[in-house]
Amino acid sequence: MAHRITTVVAAAAVFGVLAGGSNAVAANLIDSRDIKNNSVKSIDIKNGTLQRQDMGPGLKRLLDSAATKSELAASNGALDARLDALEAQDSSGANTNFKANPGSAILDDTTVGLTATEGGTSVEIANLDVPVQAGQTVSFTYALANGAVYGAGSPRVFYEIAGQFYNTFDGDPTDKGVDNKNGTFTKSVTVPVNGRVGGFGVVYDGETTGTVTVGQVKVGDYTVKFR
pLDDT, tens digit, for every residue of 148-178?
999 989 999 999 999 999 999 998 999 999 9
Q: Which domains does the chain have, with CATH numbers?
A: 2-87 (no CATH), 99-223 (2.60.120.260)
Q: 146 falls in which pLDDT band (50, 70, 90)?
A: very high
Output 48 or 85, whichever has higher pLDDT. Answer: 48
Q: 41 falls in which pLDDT band (50, 70, 90)?
A: low
Give the CA dihedral 89, 91, 92, 98, nearest 10 degrees: -30
CB-side exposure of 181: number of CA atoms within 13 Å? 0
CA distance linking residue 128 with residue 161, whole number of Å: 10
Q: What is the DSSP string of 170-208?
A: SS-TT---EE-SSSEEEEEEE--S-EEEEEEEEEE-S--
Query: pTM to 2 decimals?
Result: 0.62
For residues 201 and 123, the answer to whether their CB atoms sit within 8 Å is yes
Q: What pLDDT is stored for residue 88 in this prediction?
A: 57
- Mean pLDDT (whole number) for 190-206: 96
Output 19 or 220, whichever has higher pLDDT. Answer: 220
Is pLDDT above 70 for 36? Answer: no
For residues 103 and 115, the answer to whether their CB atoms sit within 8 Å is yes
